Structure 1
Amino acid sequence: QRPHKVGNDVGGAKGGSDVVCVMSPAGCSHLNVFKVDNWKQNLRVVYQCFVWSGSAETRKRKAKSCICHMCGAHLNRLHSCLHCIFFGCFTKKHIHEHARTKRHNLAVDLLYGGIYCFVCQDYIYDKDMEQIAKEEQRKAWKLQGNGFWKCGLWLQSIGEKYSTWEPTKRELELLRHNPKRRKITANCTIGLRGLINLGNTCFMNCIVQALTHTPLLRDFFLSDRHKCEMQANSCLVCEMSQLFQEFYSGHRSPHIPFRLLHLVWTHARHLAGYEQQDAHEFLIAALDVLHRHCKDDNGKKANNPNHCNCIIDQIFTGGLQSDVTCQACHGVSTTIDPFWDISLDLPGSSTPFWPLSPGSDGGVVNGESHPTGATTLTDCLRRFTRPEHLGSSAKIKCSGCHSYQESTKQLTMKRLPIVACFHLKRFEHSAKLRRKITTYVSFPLELDMTPFMASSKESRMNGQYQQPDEQVCNSLSLSLCRYALFAVVNHQGTLESGHYTTFIRQHKDQWFKCDDAIITKASIKDVLDSEGYLLFYHKQFLEYE
């Protein structure tokens, strides 16, 4: 809020300069007109009934009566005249017109309780009035319990209420000796911090780097919105909150995530020990524990990802639609399942791959070279969403035929998450062999998920989706389905011995490589030429739900 102006206006300055305001210990002299008889009691009534409104009765009265007497609006910075019963818009200057015609110079802001003087043309400060305002505000808080009335809405407060901050003498001294403020520029590296490897914990460090650079997750943890009711030092959400504070504190020395490792071992025992673990497995385990330790907006435990409003599900959960079509009657059975990530098969695996990019030579591409026909992320998604014939050995009972029939199954995206994580299945474990697949997969900086949506499939089936023109396609893509790459986790080495690193995007075109405690600048070419194991994409346009 702007500093208050106190004193009288003095015009006629030399050289035709603007009107200035002279500071006076006595404050605004126009208050003397109001400070007569029972002015304190009258002001208390105004604050009780029209500003803070502590009781249910006064809130109802405020909702009914506090409208502009000239245009009937509830908002537009509504002010109440202190000399008579009149409410007027400040934005549309209806309260100004009233003050000019009635010569009523003082009004109170019904949102914040500030006193405005129309002669001084600014909000003014008076010690006695400020004291009354604070006393009535505290009374209203006590009447309202755990919330407060503001902007015509009942807002639930989190934790205890805090009064306005006023610096101590010590803090004033510190402010005087440290006048400079940190400038946030395009080259700012706040949020970049290395992580000490605690013994084969690069699998954890690379995922932590990706999570701490997820924009909405960062905003959640840095705004102190988690209210914990678990036992002390046992909540992973609390530890992640502390981790975000450490990352964005401005410190440059590497952080030691020993508490995080201990909690992971406690809540995901299959990851305990100093053996090298799978980064993808750690990501899913971490999201699961965070999901279980979070609460939704209704204060209920988040046990069902289908009906959960916790921050993890808001950001990472999408809906995968499975359509099973009977080959006899062509009846379709549809189910929708939640997912946190999408695992994609690669060429070179024992699973037959279909198909490569248009114009590809069809050969298996190894990570050593990048020929023209290299496999793309879009190829992998095409294979993931292609119809698959289940065969005679996997017959299902059709609800239409009432008998077991052969069928086809197709997966599509019913609902896209805000953050889409793609897991390229580089580690193959089967009864006959265990190996790492080094096939190079080209992935883009920007990804359009429109072709893989369930709605696109339905349009094609209805004959409405045959080569849409560029304008329609762009309109659909830009609205909901366009993603931007912001993190890439890579694995170097073999299945038995390897190392994880992460590329993260700090700003639009600035990338950094995170190798445990070492952070180095990287080029976009370094990112796109990397092998790729986990790819993190963020929605460019968020939909309102």
Structure 2
Amino acid sequence: MPTVSVKWQKEVFPSVEIDTSQPPLVFKCQLYALTGVPPERQKIMVKGGLLKDDADWATLGVKEGQKLMMMGTADEIVKAPEKGPVFMEDLPEEEQVVAVGHSAGLYNLGNTCYMNSTLQCLHSVPELKSALLSYTNSGRNNELDQYSHLLTVATRDLFGELDRNVRPVAPLQFLSILRKKYPQFAQQHNGGYMQQDAEECWTQLMYTLSQSLRSSDSSEASATVKALFGVGLVNRVYCAESSEESFENESVYALKCHISQDINHLHEGLRRGLKSELEKMSTSLGRSAVFSKESCISELPRYLTVQFVRFFWKRESNQKAKILRKVDYPLELDVYEFCSDELRQKLQTPRQTLRELENVKLGLKVEDKKKEHEVNMPTSEGSSNDSSEPSSMALDKAVSSEDKGQLTGIYDLVAVLTHKGRSADSGHYVAWVKQENGKWIQYDDDNPIPQREEDITKLSGGGDWHMAYICVYKARVV
């Protein structure tokens, strides 16, 4: 095993052993350890030229004590980082919120899960948070009572705390004012506060915000809550006995999904919820008569709230009983079939534009999806028949400033409020909220838990597990 010296740049490495039983590549690896020059960059001068990785040492005639010359550039030395690792708990609270990807949970202050879950769902609506931020402590109008004003301020401040913190927040101020404004939430039993209905809390808070987030100075602000959550309905009231017929407009903040033995899906429950019977005075008959009421949507919101009517008053036990039946609901909800003819007409062009944009993202040809009349979405007049490929310029025109932000009647699920238990006045409420990054978080009071999207639609009922009570869908716009 001969020993040689190797000269590289200004350095000389004496007594480098060569194992002639191994290929020259092994020798180059030895030099890599000494010089930092990778084998593929090494140029070593030997008899007959440059040393090759697979050469035969016996033919090279390397002698004991021979001096070899090597050329090549060493790898750059990896520098130590200027700043050491920073642990999440050492970051400022605001940066921790960004790093975690979700806001804080809410402490349960004694049977307040109904309130916590309601707040977490509404907190997921950025437009509502923006409207609250513009509401000042002195912004109370003359028609607004003091506690409505204070409850709005408390909601604004609490949403701000949730956005700034990773650790759980105690909603003491909000709860105190909520109970003063709506004393039913202060009911006690055996010395402790009672569990309440989350839907009632949702409805009361929504009503308060619809009253407070109004300003005579700004027509835009006056319509904030209605534009975000308000559903316009046109009702046809008809009496088969007297042939009386009338139409009336109505505005609600949620659609009802009625549940019975033949309801298996949200669409079926919504269809049932838009039809009802009522008894009222008939001017033609001069007495009470049964009228049929059929409703259809005349105005759509940015956020569509759906309430599953799971609770009913049970006379025998004198309490609210729960319907446990499984009712499936989708991640994507299309309410086109529930809309009035006039609204359907308005939705046709935006829906066609949306489909074309989605086809472009999927790499599909627009012509492959031209059977739009089957789903009440006729081809837009501006589409070209000369080319099977969609024109990006044409689509950009379709989403012009004139059409930007148009509703399509298609909604994506962004929040679910669930209830676990047999009665509305007992059990446990939890919020499941989709974050801006697309991930779902289960807010079980002060404990936020990441969830998979495919598990969200499994909260459909059929047992004693968490089941959807309120769903919030966000409008897909073009």
Asked if these proteins are the same fold (TM beyond 0.5), I'd say yes
Amino acid at match of 2:208: V
> Structure 1, residues 248-276: CA drift from partner, whole Å, max 9, x if none?
22x21100100000110111111114110
- Tell me if the contact between 1:319 and 1:336 (Cα under 8 Å) persists in the aligned partners: yes
Matching residue of 1:211: 122
Alignment equivalent of 1:416, drawn from 297, 300, 308 = 300
User: Given the alignment of the two structures, is residue 200 of structure 1 paired with residue 128 of structure 2, yes or no?
Assistant: no
Matching residue of 2:270: 381
Give 1:318 deviation, angstroms: 1.7
Give 1:294 deviation, angstroms: 3.0
Matching residue of 2:200: 281
> Structure 2: how far apart are the matches of 1:183 and 1:239?
20
Amino acid at match of 2:473: Y
Matching residue of 1:516: 445
- Tell me if the contact between 1:236 and 1:293 (Cα under 8 Å) persists in the aligned partners: no
Tell which deviates more after alignment, 220-229 or 532-541.
220-229
Matching residue of 1:296: 215
> Structure 1: how far apart are the matches of 2:435 and 2:379?
27
Structure 1 segment 75-224 matched on structure 2, within 5 A: 188-189=99-100, 191-222=102-133
> Structure 1, residues 394-453: CA drift from partner, whole Å, max 9, x if none?
56335xx99977643212112122221111111221324542111111111111111001
Matching residue of 2:419: 491
- Tell me if the contact between 2:430 and 2:445 (Cα under 8 Å) persists in the aligned partners: yes
Give 1:189 deviation, angstroms: 3.9
Give 1:187 deviation, angstroms: 7.8
Instruction: Count matched residues.
Output: 320
Matching residue of 2:313: 429
User: CA separation of 1:257/1:270 partners in 2, compared to 1, >3 Å: closer, same or farther?
Assistant: same
Give 1:537 deviation, angstroms: 1.0
TM-score by length of 2: 0.59
Give 1:484 deviation, angstroms: 1.1
> Structure 1: how far apart are the matches of 2:202 and 2:325?
22
User: CA separation of 1:540/1:185 partners in 2, compared to 1, >3 Å: closer, same or farther?
Assistant: farther
User: CA separation of 1:445/1:233 partners in 2, compared to 1, >3 Å: closer, same or farther?
Assistant: closer
- Tell me if the contact between 1:450 and 1:456 (Cα under 8 Å) persists in the aligned partners: no
> Structure 2: how far apart are the matches of 1:245 and 1:410?
42
> Structure 1: how far apart are the matches of 2:438 and 2:379?
23
> Structure 1: how far apart are the matches of 2:204 and 2:127?
20
Matching residue of 2:176: 262
Please state whether the residue corresponding to 1:469 is helix, strand or coil: helix
- Tell me if the contact between 2:93 and 2:166 (Cα under 8 Å) persists in the aligned partners: no
Matching residue of 2:227: 314
Please state whether the residue corresponding to 1:442 is helix, strand or coil: coil
Give 1:196 deviation, angstroms: 0.4
- Tell me if the contact between 2:300 and 2:407 (Cα under 8 Å) persists in the aligned partners: no
Matching residue of 1:337: 250
Please state whether the residue corresponding to 2:222 is helix, strand or coil: coil
User: CA separation of 1:213/1:458 partners in 2, compared to 1, >3 Å: closer, same or farther?
Assistant: closer
- Tell me if the contact between 2:148 and 2:212 (Cα under 8 Å) persists in the aligned partners: no
Give 1:293 deviation, angstroms: 2.8
> Structure 1: how far apart are the matches of 2:95 and 2:342?
42
> Structure 2: how far apart are the matches of 1:436 and 1:410?
26
User: CA separation of 1:226/1:336 partners in 2, compared to 1, >3 Å: closer, same or farther?
Assistant: farther
Structure 1: gaps spanning 5 or more residues: 1-179, 301-306, 357-374, 460-466
- Tell me if the contact between 2:149 and 2:212 (Cα under 8 Å) persists in the aligned partners: no
User: Given the alignment of the two structures, is residue 242 of structure 1 paired with residue 157 of structure 2, yes or no?
Assistant: yes
> Structure 2: how far apart are the matches of 1:211 and 1:445?
18
> Structure 2: how far apart are the matches of 1:327 and 1:470?
32
> Structure 1: how far apart are the matches of 2:172 and 2:120?
15
> Structure 2: how far apart are the matches of 1:280 and 1:425?
10
Query: Alignment RMSD, CA only?
Result: 3.8
Amino acid at match of 1:426: R
Please state whether the residue corresponding to 2:438 is helix, strand or coil: coil
Amino acid at match of 1:265: R
User: Given the alignment of the two structures, is residue 537 of structure 1 paired with residue 473 of structure 2, yes or no?
Assistant: yes
- Tell me if the contact between 1:319 and 1:338 (Cα under 8 Å) persists in the aligned partners: yes
> Structure 2: how far apart are the matches of 1:269 and 1:474?
55
User: Given the alignment of the two structures, is residue 271 of structure 1 paired with residue 185 of structure 2, yes or no?
Assistant: yes
- Tell me if the contact between 2:148 and 2:208 (Cα under 8 Å) persists in the aligned partners: no
Which protein is bigger by CA-based radius of gyration?
2
> Structure 1: how far apart are the matches of 2:221 and 2:97?
37
- Tell me if the contact between 1:267 and 1:289 (Cα under 8 Å) persists in the aligned partners: no
User: CA separation of 1:186/1:278 partners in 2, compared to 1, >3 Å: closer, same or farther?
Assistant: closer
Amino acid at match of 1:493: G
Give 1:328 deviation, angstroms: 6.1
Please state whether the residue corresponding to 1:333 is helix, strand or coil: strand
Give 1:299 deviation, angstroms: 6.8
Matching residue of 2:330: 444
> Structure 2: how far apart are the matches of 1:409 and 1:474?
34
> Structure 1: how far apart are the matches of 2:295 and 2:452?
35
> Structure 2: how far apart are the matches of 1:190 and 1:436?
35
**Which structure is higher in strand share?**
2
Please state whether the residue corresponding to 2:184 is helix, strand or coil: helix
Give 1:320 deviation, angstroms: 2.0
Please state whether the residue corresponding to 2:408 is helix, strand or coil: helix
- Tell me if the contact between 1:296 and 1:310 (Cα under 8 Å) persists in the aligned partners: no
Give 1:243 deviation, angstroms: 1.4
> Structure 2: how far apart are the matches of 1:406 and 1:263?
43
User: CA separation of 1:299/1:513 partners in 2, compared to 1, >3 Å: closer, same or farther?
Assistant: same
Matching residue of 1:525: 454
Give 1:347 deviation, angstroms: 2.0
> Structure 1: how far apart are the matches of 2:373 and 2:316?
46
Amino acid at match of 2:302: I
Give 1:314 deviation, angstroms: 2.7
Amino acid at match of 1:491: H
Matching residue of 1:167: none
> Structure 1, residues 342-379: CA drift from partner, whole Å, max 9, x if none?
2322125xxxx5xx4xxxxxxxxxxxxxxxxxx11001
Please state whether the residue corresponding to 1:248 is helix, strand or coil: helix
Give 1:222 deviation, angstroms: 4.2
TM-score by length of 1: 0.52
> Structure 1, residues 467-487: CA drift from partner, whole Å, max 9, x if none?
9423617989x8431111110
Structure 2: gaps spanning 5 or more residues: 1-90, 188-192, 346-371, 381-402, 460-466
User: CA separation of 1:184/1:209 partners in 2, compared to 1, >3 Å: closer, same or farther?
Assistant: same
- Tell me if the contact between 1:228 and 1:238 (Cα under 8 Å) persists in the aligned partners: no
Matching residue of 1:154: none
Amino acid at match of 2:377: V
Percent identity for Structure 1 against Structure 2 = 24
User: CA separation of 1:331/1:237 partners in 2, compared to 1, >3 Å: closer, same or farther?
Assistant: same
Please state whether the residue corresponding to 2:473 is helix, strand or coil: strand
Amino acid at match of 1:540: R
- Tell me if the contact between 2:132 and 2:213 (Cα under 8 Å) persists in the aligned partners: no
Amino acid at match of 1:199: G
